[in-house]
Chains A and B, each alone.
Chain A
């Protein structure tokens, strides 16, 4: 199944679904709906800037949804940016590891701080490394530093 939407992507980083029925369906519980979860995961892959679904971090999301959010937070959208220089990647990776993800919401809302654990950071970094083969292309790396 092709998960990509052939449309321009806005830079939306937070889709607040608090209170929607979808919340229950994507949590790891008895009401979990695999179809809805799969649809949401495809959506998150398409809108790769979305790193938050509201206060869902407070709840136990289904692992597949959680992973998609972690990958988005890690910087999945950078993969589409082919112009990103190889020399930038160390900074990207370092930031993924050291920085907690702090959400700066609207001034009218309570500021939220969303921490992600070392395990989440490692998962996100692993995703980036695995899906950025240029990082392991010695010829490209060599040419980048000549």
Chain B
């Protein structure tokens, strides 16, 4: 079964396994996988969103492309709460009331991150987090997201090429402890990367194991 073949009628089958889940709850990826890829096809759903205990959205990685779909296009209800958790599962998303993806958390993507072909699904994206196995990001495509204001990286590598990320909406960048940045990287970040974001207001470097300012003291540009 491909994602195109996934039809709303399958909601009933899926929701049977998820009865009792509250909006914002999440489910182990393996459970979704079992429900979706029953015919052994190479489809690996990476996340799902629920409303009132019913799965309403799902994301599937196929190669380097991300496909998303909505399962109840007519439903209008309260916003889902943030699905982000600290579990080992690799993909979370939050849909807004229109069913569009608002927040996207990619945990263990070892492919080049690429926006989905259906860019419209991510047009409302406000928050994006990429995992430590993500090697690179298409910033030219990210630039097409007019509402993105939060960008979280768990690896420093994807930052390369960020000069192509033309975003006036970005407010906050969070480099997690997974980034393991050193002073030189910090210097590059502050002097070469951040100035490309005119409205950036916050940089989070929590728990990075480094002496941040040591290289700045030696910086020849002072």
- Please state if B217 and A20 are interface contacts (CB–CB under 8 Å): no
Mark interface residues in A43-54 (1 if CB within 8 Å of B CB, else 0): 100110000001
Which are the 5 A-B pairs with shortest beta-carbon distances? A19-B207, A39-B217, A39-B213, A16-B204, A10-B194
State whether B190 touches A14 (Cβ < 8 A). Answer: no
A106 touches B171 (CB 8 A): yes
- Can you list 20 A-B pairs with a CB-CB distance of less than 8 A? A7-B191, A10-B197, A10-B198, A12-B202, A12-B203, A14-B202, A15-B205, A16-B203, A16-B205, A16-B206, A19-B177, A21-B210, A22-B211, A36-B213, A39-B213, A39-B217, A42-B216, A42-B222, A106-B172, A108-B82
CA distance A5 to B206 in the complex (A): 24
- Taking Cβ atoms with an 8 Å cutoff, the residues of B that contact A are 82, 127, 149-150, 171-172, 177, 190-191, 194-195, 197-214, 216-217, 219, 221-222
Which residues from chain A contact B202 at a C-beta distance below 8 Å? 12-16, 105-106
Nearest Cβ on chain A to B147's Cβ, whole angstroms: 12
| A5 CA to B215 CA, complexed, in Å | 13
Contact of B195 among A10, A15, A35 (CB under 8 A): A10
A135 to chain B, nearest CB (A): 28
Q: How far is the CA of A102 from the CA of B209 in the complex (A)?
A: 29
Closest to B84 in A: A108
Contacting residues, chain B, for A6 (C-beta < 8 A):
221-222
Main SS class of interface, B: loop
Complex Cα spacing A9 to B203, Å: 14
Using CB atoms, name the residue of chain B closest to A9.
Answer: B195
Additional pairs, 7, CB under 8 Å, beyond known A11-B201, A13-B201, A22-B213: A11-B198, A14-B203, A19-B177, A19-B207, A20-B208, A20-B210, A39-B214
Considering the chains assembled together, what is the distance between the CA atoms of A25 and B202 in angstroms?
A: 22
Name the B residues within 8 Å of A141 (CB-CB). none
Main secondary structure of the interface of A (DSSP, over half): loop
How large, as a class, is the contact surface on chain A? Answer: 35 or more
> Which A residues are CB-close (under 8 A) to B221?
5-7
B211 touches A12 (CB 8 A): no
Q: How far is the CB of B221 from chain A (nearest CB, A)?
A: 6
Nearest-neighbour CB distance to chain B for A26, whole angstroms, equals 9
Once the chains are docked, how many angstroms separate the CA of A146 from the CA of B30? 75
A20–B207 CB distance below 8 A: yes
Q: How far is the CB of A10 from chain B (nearest CB, A)?
A: 4
Give Cα distance in the complex from A16 to B173, angstroms: 10
CB-nearest residue of chain A relative to B202?
Answer: A14
B213/A43 in contact, CB under 8 A: yes
Q: Which residue of B lies closest to A18 (CB)?
A: B206
Give Cα A10 to B197, complex, Å.
7
State whether the Cβ of A38 lies closer than 8 Å to any Cβ in chain B.
Answer: yes
Residues of chain B within 8 A of A21, CB atoms compared = 209-211
Partner of B199, one of A8, A11, A40: A11
Contact of B222 among A5, A18, A25 (CB under 8 A): A5
CB contacts (< 8 Å) of A47 on chain B: these are 190
Residues of A within 8 A of B195 (CB): 7-10
User: With A5-B221, A11-B198 as given contacts, are A17 and B205 in contact (CB-CB < 8 Å)?
Assistant: yes
- Pair A5/B219 contact, Cβ less than 8 Å: yes
- A2 on interface, CB distance cutoff 8 Å: yes
A20 to B194, Cβ gap below 8 A? no
| Chain A residue with the shortest CB-CB distance to B191 | A7
A36 touches B214 (CB 8 A): yes
Report the minimum CB–CB distance from B212 to chain A (whole Å).
5
